[in-house]
Structure 1
Amino acid sequence: MDSNSSLRPTVFASLFTALIIVGGYLSFPLPFSPVPVVLADFFVLLSGLALGAAWGGVSVGFFLLLGLIGLPVLAGGAAGLPVFFGPTGGFLLGYLAEAVLAGFIARRGRPCLWKDLTAVVAGFTVLFVLGVLWLHFSLKLDWPKTLAAGLLPFIPGTVIKAIALILLIRPLRSLLARLSGQ
């Protein structure tokens, strides 16, 4: 293995880490929820779809590590351990699960539309399951309030993000393959 072949996935993972950070800065707080609307989840899922489970997980893991050590990379420039234990901590954990699960599904065998669609739905599902459960237990809300704060307002945007991901992933994979010399 030459140095270029081992360097490329590292560079791609780093680029996706940067995109996730930018997506977190595009944060729109909701007055009735501690969970903001962000684009980070879009880039998290895109990293898994484009890079696969391992390298998608690396890109998200690096993003989480940067936030954990105090760099202001999380939604709205937040950082540090308290954010991970706060009401949005489940969504942060969900980012890692989202990228790895989507990457695992999408990159097994030959890529196809149905596999990508399944990966997107599974990725967003695991994100919201972990995020909403954490929100429920951390704030001790009843289920209707939890769903109103952590799931329902995000469904329209998630559908739009899912459509964009499905439209974007094939050309992106083609570009990454060309850049990798494959």
Structure 2
Amino acid sequence: MNTKDIVYIALFAALTAALGIFPPINIPALGGVPITAQSMGLMLAGGILGAKRGALAMVLFLVLVGVGLPLLSGGRGGWGVLVGPSGGFLFGWVITAFVIGSLIEKYWLRLNFVLVAAICLFGGVFLLYAIGIPWLAFAAKIPVEKAFFGAIAFVPGDLVKVVLSTAIIVAVGRSYPLITR
């Protein structure tokens, strides 16, 4: 890893923190898991930086949150947030950024808007929910079914984030590709 990689990793951790400026929308029935713009950060990190650097950007972000920096939407931070109801979604950011980056790298030469959107939808929504919902059910002490159906409220916002992330990933990939094959 060179200095340039470290700068990109730090930049995308900072971008994810900046996305926390948008105020969260809390859903009390889900144990306090808010709807935020920050999950867009994992799609952008994986899609623009690739698997390794994208996942490391999310690891850096979570380490900073874990030590208490209030980088999550609503000014949240600290170990308690990471082990609370939204912890599964937060730790899922690392895995999903890696998966999105891996798929973008695999299909780099054939990328188009539809393929990038499908990759972001798979990694940034389906996979993230598959990781976060069971953790939410456990941490909030609610049935998995309730957590699953409560998560439906997140889908419209996530679809908007997929479209925005896709447009950004495609534009950056064409004009200044950070992933090379």
TM over 0.5: yes
- Which category describes the TM-score, using the shorter chain as reference length? 0.7 to 0.9
The alignment partner of 2:109 has SS state of coil
Against the structure 1 CA distance between its residues 86 and 107, is the aligned structure 2 distance closer, same or farther, given a 3 Å change threshold?
same
Q: Please give the residue correspondences for 1:42-53 in structure 2 after superposition, counting only pairs within 5 Å.
A: 42-53=40-51
Does the CA-based 8 Å contact 2:62-2:90 persist in structure 1?
Answer: yes
Match of 2:37 among 36, 39, 46: 39
- In 2, the alpha carbon distance for the partners of 1:65 and 1:175 equals 31
Match of 1:10 among 2, 6, 13: 6
Q: Which runs of 5+ in 1 are unaligned?
A: none
- Per the TM alignment, residue 141 of structure 1 is displaced from its structure 2 partner at its CA by 1.0
TM-score w.r.t. length of structure 1: 0.86
Q: Which runs of 5+ in 2 are unaligned?
A: none
TM-score w.r.t. length of structure 2: 0.87
TM-superposition CA deviations, 1:47-91 (whole Å, max 9, x none) = 100000000011111000001111111232111111111101101
Partner of 1:148: 149
Are 2:33 and 1:30 equivalent residues in the alignment?
no
Identity over aligned residues, as a percent?
A: 28
- Per the TM alignment, residue 148 of structure 1 is displaced from its structure 2 partner at its CA by 3.4
- In 1, the alpha carbon distance for the partners of 2:175 and 2:109 equals 17
Against the structure 1 CA distance between its residues 176 and 65, is the aligned structure 2 distance closer, same or farther, given a 3 Å change threshold?
farther
Q: Please give the residue correspondences for 1:18-167 in structure 2 after superposition, counting only pairs within 5 Å.
A: 18-26=14-22, 27-33=24-30, 34-108=32-106, 109-113=108-112, 114-123=114-123, 124-149=125-150, 151-167=151-167
TM-superposition CA deviations, 1:146-168 (whole Å, max 9, x none) = 1233x110111111111122222
- In 2, the alpha carbon distance for the partners of 1:30 and 1:146 equals 11
Tell me how many residue pairs correspond in the alignment. 174
Does the CA-based 8 Å contact 1:101-1:122 persist in structure 2?
Answer: no
Does the CA-based 8 Å contact 1:105-1:115 persist in structure 2?
Answer: no
- In 2, the alpha carbon distance for the partners of 1:6 and 1:115 equals 30
Which shifted more, 114-123 or 90-99? 114-123
Give RMSD over aligned pairs: 2.0
Against the structure 1 CA distance between its residues 111 and 80, is the aligned structure 2 distance closer, same or farther, given a 3 Å change threshold?
farther
Does the CA-based 8 Å contact 1:17-1:62 persist in structure 2?
Answer: yes
The one of the two structures with greater contact order (alpha-carbon pairs below 8 A, sep at least 6) is 2
